[in-house]
Amino acid sequence: MLQTVTPELAQWLAAQRQAGHGDDAILSAMTQSGWTEVSARAALAKPLVILKAPQPTGGTFTAGLPEPAISEGATTLNAGDREVQVLTVMKLPRVVVFGGLLSAEECAQLRALAATRLARSETVQVETGTSEVNEARTSEGMFFGRGENELAQRIEARIAALLHWPIENGEGLQILHYSPGAEYKPHFDYFDPEHSGTASILKRGGQRVGSLVIYLNTPTRGGGTTFPDVGLEVQPVQGNAVFFSYDRPDPATRTLHGGAPVLEGEKWVATKWLRQGRFD
Ligand code: PD2
Ligand code: ZN
């Protein structure tokens, strides 16, 4: 019988290793509990599977990660209804900067539609899974419901074509507005499995596995998106976007990132977060 590495077994294996048990001891424990030696050895040889956090039950998840199909040396990509430039590509963290994802008119329309609905941005309260105002995030924001209007539908379809990820797995577009001095301190976009509020958040669509931050204007000065672990700063230019993905909710993905303070002018972005499964 084929024996597979379930999330529970992956968690058990990780705990054995953390406790300092060597592969021989783990192998022996597995064979004593009914594993064939061949299957146990195969399970032990799958480090990436083992590192993955256990996934919540009750949902079907899309395999793999969102990822643009960039053939070697390509400078443009087809995003369905629009051609998009590939400006910067990084492997770890997986970061891709796109040029011209939105037109100037689309940026202006999103800003205008969001303007009357802005409220002080909140962050997720890790213990309970609810949201609260936080000094680390001094922007104001709002969420469009997924597919809420024709513009949101068009942009969501374009993102799905660009990143090869189902529209249904995306959260609604979030619009953020930063005034001079406002910032978003470095953080991870995934939900920390150690926090007690995470389990309830994951029931709806599972983990976040990718983020796309689209710049809706060009601030006069400041407001770049920073990746402190790798010393990268993406300058906010209207219509451009920065994409990054994370295969597990772990700092080893090096996806710590922040919105640097806006020094002059204002900053508008639209963020699209992508989940493992349907986000209904
Ligand atoms: O506005 C940004 O540059 C930014 C930076 C970090 C946005 C987000 N995170 C986000 O929306 O998660
Ligand atoms: Zn973020």
Global pTM reads 0.79
Query: CA 141 to CA 264: how far, in whole Å?
Result: 19
Cα-to-centroid distance, 271 and ligand 1 (Å): 7
Span between the terminal Cα atoms of the chain, in Å: 36
pLDDT digits (tens, 9 = 90+) for 54-93: 445 437 899 999 999 999 999 999 999 999 999 999 999 9
With the most atoms of ligand 1 within 8 angstroms of its CB, the residue from 257, 266, 267, 268 to mutate is: 257
Q: Is the CB of 189 under 6 A from ligand 1?
A: yes
Q: Is the CB of 258 under 6 A from ligand 1?
A: yes
pLDDT digits (tens, 9 = 90+) for 6-56: 554 565 556 455 445 567 756 655 554 456 676 667 776 764 343 344 445
The distance from CA 118 to its chain's CA centroid, rounded to whole angstroms, is 23
Instruction: Kindly report whether the peptide bond that precedes residue 93 is cis, defined as omega within 30 degrees of 0.
Output: yes
Return the residue whose CA atom lies nearest to atom 6 of ligand 1. 258
